Amino acid sequence: MEVNINSVHFKTDKKLEGFIERKVSKLSGMYEGVIGSEVTLKVENSESRDNKVAEIRLLIKGYDLYAKKQSKTFEEATDTAINALRKQLEKYKDKKRK
């Protein structure tokens, strides 16, 4: 599965990219219909410390799953978004079975 990582107005380091790729790749193991994913990382201009945003779009044949989460770190935001996508993927798989 291909994982495209885009960062808005900054450059990601290899450690963060590796972390995201590992996490997102685990989702493709849950369902064989996953084609790829697009991850967008950005820092929002806000007063709070929870200004790191991770948006993940999971591409499935004929359908896309999407999660956007905000946190103190990109790793934490990615984890939260992956958990949301995992729940969405479970629901999608249940619908496909019926």
* pLDDT tens by residue, 45-98: 877 888 999 999 999 988 899 999 999 999 999 999 999 999 999 999 898 887
Confidence label for 1 from pLDDT (cuts 50, 70 and 90): confident
Buried/exposed code over 49-68 (b: 16+ C-beta within 10 A; e: otherwise): eeebbbbbbbbbeeeebebe
Domain of residue 78: give its range. Answer: 2-97
What pLDDT shows up at residue 75?
96
Alpha helices in the chain (DSSP H): 14-30, 74-97
* pLDDT tens by residue, 3-53: 999 999 899 999 999 999 999 999 988 888 899 999 999 998 877 888 999
Q: What is the CATH number of the domain that holds 50?
A: 3.30.160.100
What pLDDT shows up at residue 21?
95
* Burial (CB count <10 Å: 0-12, 13-18, 19+), residue 11: exposed
Buried/exposed code over 17-30 (b: 16+ C-beta within 10 A; e: otherwise): eebbbebbeebbee
Could you give the number of structural domains in the chain?
1
